[in-house]
Amino acid sequence: MKTDTQRQARSITQQILQELAAGRKSQPLTIAVGVSNRHVHLSRKEMDMLFGYGSSLTRMKALKQPGQFAAQETVTLRGPKGELQRVRVLGPLRNVTQVEISVADGFVLGIGAPVRMSGELQGSPGVTLVGPHGEVAIAEGVIVAWRHLHISPEEAARHGLTDGAEIAVETQGPRAGVLRHVKVRVSAEALAEIHLDQEEANALGLGNGDRVQIKSNGPKVA
């Protein structure tokens, strides 16, 4: 009888632990928002042409993602229709120059920039960048950034998220809504943060540090 009682107690304990674990898994995952204004990532070649040979970026403010920072340096973007002044350069330098703008910025410049993930620049339009030491016209590299989630491999695994997947997130407040097609970017040392551009954030009444709730995750996007 004692053995049966012990066996029953172990079974009840195991069931309680399983239910507690299931409860923890079912708790909604909320992620902080990072709002991105228009900005530029420069390669060494364009940095030299715009700011002088051998010049370096001057760190102004650290960004949330490790190693990333806003520099004191700014450039002017000049398109076929108009220009945008004092566009912030973000560091560190990259292999390829990339310009990230909003849809409305594209109207000002006269450029129809596609919605792309960072680095997917093939076939995107170009623009002229103007700095204090010169100017350079890039043939491609202007995009509207696809909304995305930065997350570490460990945290992604805990929440069943995979690199390249798409998720939906829900916002609260007077302008509450659901954003779909948020792409997951898993990378070592990444801190969990959802990046939206200024237009998306304004439409939903969101600011830096506000939190949104992940509603679902979908299949990996090829």
pLDDT tens readout for residues 58-86: 999 999 999 999 999 999 999 999 999 99
Residues 6+ apart with CB under 8 A from 91: 57, 59, 68, 69, 70, 71
CA angle 211, 23, 10 (to 5 degrees): 155
- Predicted TM-score of the model (pTM): 0.83
Inter-residue contact 127 to 137 (CB < 8 Å): yes
Nearest to 109 by CA among 144, 74, 133, 134: 144
pLDDT at res. 3:
62
Beta-bridge partners for 142: 99
CA angle 36, 177, 195 (to 5 degrees): 20
Token digits of residue 2: 């004692």
Average pLDDT, integer, range 190-218:
92
> Given pLDDT bands bounded at 50, 70 and 90, which one contains residue 22?
low
pLDDT at res. 27:
65
Bigger pLDDT: 6 vs 76: 76
pLDDT at res. 221:
45
Quick one: the chain helix, strand, coil %, rounded to 5?
Answer: 25, 40, 35
21 pLDDT above the threshold of 90: no
39 pLDDT above the threshold of 60: yes
